Amino acid sequence: MIGSLSGLRILYLLLAVWGAVHPMWYFLSWFGENGFSLSAMVAAWTANDAVTGLSVDLVIAAVALILWILAEVAVRRNWSALLAIPATCFIGVSCGLPLYLFLRTRAV
């Protein structure tokens, strides 16, 4: 399978894996120090204007990505690309976007 992938598709896949693993490292470290509290994590995401701005930026990017995925799947019928939506919602844009690009650039 890897032999049939283009260099760009391999980069997309590597970025998706990195976008899943690296941020999760920080989330798990934070949960280890603060306990598993989603309300405390949301409070941390709004701790100051800089962090709030970054959080809002990521939410807007995630919504735009999800709309793009839905619009393109409706036209291209590339149903596997829908896997990027839960990746975006449950992991983040850093995983969802490169995963979507990986899935989108496969031979249909």
E strands within 3-52?
A: none
Give the Cβ contact number of residue 11 at 10 Å: 14
| Residue 87 scores a pLDDT above 90 | yes
Question: Is the separation of the CB atoms in 44 and 55 below 8 Å?
Answer: no
Are the CB atoms for 79 and 63 separated by under 8 Å? Answer: no
Inform me whether the pLDDT recorded for 2 exceeds 90.
no
Instruction: Read off the pLDDT of residues 5-49 as tens digits, 9 standing for 90 and up.
Output: 889 999 999 999 999 999 999 989 999 999 988 899 889 999 999
CA–CA dist 60, 10 (Å, integer): 27
pLDDT of residue 60: 97
Q: What is the pTM of this model?
A: 0.87
Q: Which residue, among 98, 39, 34, 44, has the nearest Cα to 69 in the 3D structure?
A: 98
